[in-house]
Structure 1
Amino acid sequence: MKKKKVLALVLAAAMTAGVLSGCGNSDGETRGGSGESQQASAPAESSAESSEEKSSEAESSDGERMTISVLGIDWGYGPLADSEMEQYWEEMFDVNLEIEWVNYSDYTQKLNTLLAAGSQPDVVQIYAVNESFYYPIFTQAIDAGNFVDLTPYIFEGDNALAKTNAVMKNWSDDFWDQTRYGEGIYILPRSKAETAKGSGIEVRKDLMEKYGFEEEPTTMDELKDWLIGLSNAASEGEGQKIYALDFYGDNFMTNRTKALAVAFTGQVDWGIDENGEFQYIQFNPKYIDFLNWMKDLYDAGVLDSEFALGNADTSKFKAGNSVAYVNEWYSWNQSADKTSNKIFDKNTPDTYTAWALMPVQGPEGMTVVPNTSDVDSCIAISANCSQEKIDKIMQVFNATEEAYPGYDLLMKDGVEGVHYTLLEDGTRDTSDETIGQKRKEGYVGAWNQIFLKTDADQITDKFMRDGAKRASDEAIQRVQDMKDAIVKYLDESKLKNEIANLQSATYDSQWTNLTTDVNSMCTQYVMGQITEAQWKEFVQGIVDSADYKAIQAELKESAGK
């Protein structure tokens, strides 16, 4: 058992933040007092038992705390084992956590190696491969019986998570359907993602005002002309090249362009064509219209002429090097004073002002991209766990604000006095260098990828923050208008990724090889190195291939069509 150094930390937190005295969690069940279950278990339940009873239940036969081993993703922050944040969680849940945070670039390989050996930890975070959580090596492990089917814990009995958990009971059947593999559910979502995340077009409002481009474009043709005009005017006026778009690399399927392509094709990654066949967006005949739109920007000299080399700094929006950035619709949450929450790079002038356009209408749709999956992140539980351990995992990893008051704040910003300083105006200040280091070491704000958290509400969380970091009223109104328009469009269009959770063995084994040259050909077309006829001939070769036809047939079979 780890040596604990957190008693003083716990006491200090209790004195400075009384809301934590009952222990805090992410969505809202009062510990021993709300009538909601603390955990979903097969035959067990524990609503009103004392903390002493909880403690003894979690102890192993020698009186030590139960240990839960975990594998999670480090997104480049370098969290430390046994950090003060980790220790605080352990005290809160009366458990010993053995967590290995693996860098995102190595995570899938690390997990797959463990899966192949059948030696996965008790809890593993599942990282989507080819935008699917149920990727081949994980499904093979499921088929081998190495992971727990969570269906009974979610739906069966009086303590089922979907009935009692303050977050999960709000999830629709459609959402749960996104978690299914065959007849079971083997991933446990940590939250429901924000709606259509990649549907924003951020812009430099200060440049719009300075150069007379305040009338916002509403169609894709207008957007093209607007970007070209503002880029040229700003480049001349500012004495430096300011590109139309933050765009680099040779991948045309990233968030930097996908919303634009959707407006021309009327589909996301996979749609269904007029013949009822599954169709990949880049093989949609109308995709060439998107490429021509991008080519017009390139020919006008407002895209980085060497974008294919992948230099991210050349047209970087946050460095002031472009007028627009296709990104999440909620990522321009600049504070009203422009400095307390500065979304542009630190060395940029404080006069830079962020804004975002309303969704733009294209020939076949709007610049709105539904999520490939509404599951934000998820975990799976090893079948090697005993029933007692599974019950404990259900308690610890599905905690809520009502069960542990103060949990939501703890999840977001850590412990007051350790990970932030509370200012008089309500601002949680993290500017102190020591505090910043402790936040990094403790991975503050990132535990929500393994622990349950409230469903994403980016307007409240980003734009309506307490104190000086709050966005302007104008920005709050705009971002709310954007979300309303996005939700309305999705409700009316029913646009979605048509192959979510469908299975295709040929796709799993051949898709990378089949499409290895597609983005390179996109790049060549935009740069004028191949003709439209050559592009169409290239696409037709893939569409006519045996592998692509097999993928279509297998997806149809998986969908029951």
Structure 2
Amino acid sequence: MDASMKKHVAMGVISLMIAGSVMGCGKKDDKSSAAASSKTETEKSENKGSKEKGSDSSTISVMGIDWGYGPVQNSEMEKYWEDLLGVNLDIEWINYEDYDQKVNTLISSGSIPDVIQVSKMGNGSYYYPIFTQAIEAGDFVDLTPYLFDDGKGIAETNAVMKNWDDKMWDQTKYKDGIYILPRSKAESGQNSGIEVRKDLMEKYGFEKEPATMDELKDWLIQLSKAASDGEGKKIYALEYFGDKFMDDRVKAFATAFTGQSDWAVDKNGEFQYMQFKDEYIDFLNWMKALYDAGAIDPEFALNNSDTSKWKAGNSVALLSTWYNWNQSSDRTSSKIFDDSTPDDYKAWCLMPVKGPKAYTVSPNYTDVDSCIAISSKCSKEKIEKILTAFDGTEEQYPGYDKVMAFGVEGIHYVLKDDGTIDTSENLIKESGQDGYVGAWNQIFLKKDADMIADKFMRDGAKRASDENITRAKEIKDFVYKDLADTKMKNETQNLQSDTYNKQWSVLTDDVNTMCTQYVMGQIDEKEWKSFVKGIVDSSDYKAIQKEFKESAEETK
């Protein structure tokens, strides 16, 4: 799902381009419009379900995202699902680069298929302006009565969904309705892993792990120097490139200094953005210390992605997901590092370290892994058919989880004599791509993520060492407990602000440039604070704060 973050940087621009054609569909602040959109699906189906495109309950039309792997219509995978679920699927896979423009055009013209995959914006919300305007116009189904029905709803009985807590469902709400249907729950606090080169730790005597941000800074700088001298080439302290200081590759470090994620509510009840908090400069000073010591790429702002690449062995550490260092015990079956690197490189992950305000635990933008929405043109009968077909589980269909993970035996993988799965056979590569398993994981329900079981504890040669499995469990336990204790989250999750949608990119256009200049010593603290004050005192920033507060009141 990381690719969705990159592709949605321009979502605000796309939204503004198409919004004009949707404005007549409904007013966001019109209470009567909101009330009209909450009509029962029975009433909707009586009024238009039998006359609109897609009303035939025998065929379900779907639009899903192709993340570049090329799934095609009428693949063997599609036929497998149709036979298993007893449905006829008319599915169109759209390349991720074109998906938003196409689906938004269809939404604006009222021509959406029965089911669409909903894209995630850069701020983690699935409720973007064009989608919410269509919701207000009554174009999508409020799934609440289907999900919750005095213990008989899908969310209350489905073997996967019934394990989701209120926090998960809160992330699916728009005002008082639920218009997106999650496909799984992601691991929490994903980008909280400080991945390191353990072979360098052992070789140069740095096996005592740092516990605080100050200790981490000194540890990284000193190990970087020792490794550079010993290896005869420059090894940076931290992989970092580009000028995005809210990037997940550094955000957990900023969280440790500020005690919040992107947006938080301060003691006065005002919404506050992380980069404009007083303590954010302490994070910049931490980064500046690495820069001044020559421990990060001096030309990081030029976006030299390979210069300090951790997987190429060019850095001591990388801030990434806490589960993506799942190196196999033989260090070759699942290598982690680039193929060009020696087999003796060892991956490890530090426990989160403590900063002045918090640990280096960064909450997800959202725990909703991916989601779909259903057109209100569908009859009640079809809605129920979609919900039955798209929400399968292992309990309902034995072997379902295996198909969701690996595809169909003989088509997408070969079952070897030792019981392990091989997906690399040349004979199945073409059919495997055509039916690309991962694409179906975005639109059908799958079991919740368990990265320790799926990555570290896999059967066969790719299983990680016992030591690495133990550390992964320690990190997961710590991250989950910390988030439960602090209740930290992005407080604007699914909240709406017209001014934010229209002006945020303009308002913050120079922020990362100023961060870069500060870290490189080109501006001082006084200039930084004056710059921030100009933004937080602006009418646009104050309007954003006001609109988020009003939106929060509407969702209570």
The Cα of 1:218 is off from its aligned counterpart by 0.7
Unaligned runs of 5+ in 1: 1-40, 44-63
CA distance in 2 between partners of 1:204 and 1:267 (Å): 28
**SS state of the match for residue 267, structure 1?**
coil
Report if the CA contact (8 A) 2:182-2:370 is conserved. Answer: yes
Query: Does residue 1:123 correspond to 2:79, yes or no?
Result: no
The aligned amino acid for 1:171 is: W
CA distance in 2 between partners of 1:456 and 1:543 (Å): 39
The aligned amino acid for 2:551 is: S
The aligned amino acid for 2:507 is: L
Residue 185 (structure 1) aligns with: 178
CA distance in 2 between partners of 1:449 and 1:96 (Å): 18
Report if the CA contact (8 A) 1:65-1:96 is conserved. Answer: no
TM-score normalized by the length of structure 1: 0.86
The aligned amino acid for 2:148 is: F
Query: Does residue 1:314 correspond to 2:310, yes or no?
Result: no
The Cα of 1:491 is off from its aligned counterpart by 2.0
Residue 73 (structure 2) aligns with: 81
Query: Does residue 1:230 correspond to 2:215, yes or no?
Result: no
Deviation sequence 1:368-427 (CA, Å, 0-9, x none): 011122211111001122223212211111111111110101000111222222234432
- Kindly, what percent of the aligned residue pairs are identical? 67
**SS state of the match for residue 69, structure 1?**
strand
Alignment of 1:189-228 (within 5 A): 189-228=182-221
Which shows bigger deviation, 135-144 or 81-90? 81-90
CA distance in 1 between partners of 2:392 and 2:268 (Å): 47
Deviation sequence 1:13-66 (CA, Å, 0-9, x none): xxxxxxxxxxxxxxxxxxxxxxxxxxxx989xxxxxxxxxxxxxxxxxxxx992
Residue 494 (structure 1) aligns with: 487
Report if the CA contact (8 A) 1:245-1:323 is conserved. Answer: yes
CA distance in 2 between partners of 1:548 and 1:164 (Å): 44
Determine which of 67, 72, 75 is the counterpart of 2:59.
67
Determine which of 424, 432, 437 is the counterpart of 1:431.
424
Query: Does residue 1:449 correspond to 2:435, yes or no?
Result: no
The Cα of 1:107 is off from its aligned counterpart by 2.2
Deviation sequence 1:469-505 (CA, Å, 0-9, x none): 1111101100100111112212222212112222222
CA distance in 1 between partners of 2:155 and 2:364 (Å): 22
**SS state of the match for residue 441, structure 2?**
helix
The aligned amino acid for 2:116 is: V
Distance 1:240 1:97, change over 3 A: farther
**SS state of the match for residue 356, structure 1?**
strand
CA distance in 1 between partners of 2:508 and 2:436 (Å): 36
Query: Does residue 1:419 correspond to 2:412, yes or no?
Result: yes
Unaligned runs of 5+ in 2: 1-39, 43-55
Alignment of 1:493-532 (within 5 A): 493-532=486-525
Report if the CA contact (8 A) 1:65-1:94 is conserved. Answer: no
Report if the CA contact (8 A) 1:78-1:441 is conserved. Answer: yes
Residue 49 (structure 1) aligns with: none
Report if the CA contact (8 A) 2:71-2:439 is conserved. Answer: no
CA distance in 1 between partners of 2:398 and 2:497 (Å): 44
CA distance in 2 between partners of 1:418 and 1:75 (Å): 20
**SS state of the match for residue 467, structure 1?**
coil
The Cα of 1:350 is off from its aligned counterpart by 1.4
The Cα of 1:293 is off from its aligned counterpart by 0.7
Residue 317 (structure 2) aligns with: 324
The aligned amino acid for 2:115 is: V
Residue 36 (structure 2) aligns with: none
Determine which of 142, 155, 166 is the counterpart of 1:162.
155
**SS state of the match for residue 550, structure 1?**
helix
CA distance in 2 between partners of 1:350 and 1:535 (Å): 45
The aligned amino acid for 2:83 is: E
TM-score normalized by the length of structure 2: 0.87
**SS state of the match for residue 438, structure 2?**
coil
The aligned amino acid for 2:495 is: L
The aligned amino acid for 2:377 is: N
CA distance in 2 between partners of 1:552 and 1:281 (Å): 13
Distance 1:381 1:370, change over 3 A: same
Deviation sequence 1:416-462 (CA, Å, 0-9, x none): 22222223443212233343443333222342211101111111111
**SS state of the match for residue 364, structure 2?**
coil
CA distance in 1 between partners of 2:525 and 2:91 (Å): 52
Deviation sequence 1:493-541 (CA, Å, 0-9, x none): 2212112222222112211111111112111211222222111111110
**SS state of the match for residue 116, structure 2?**
strand
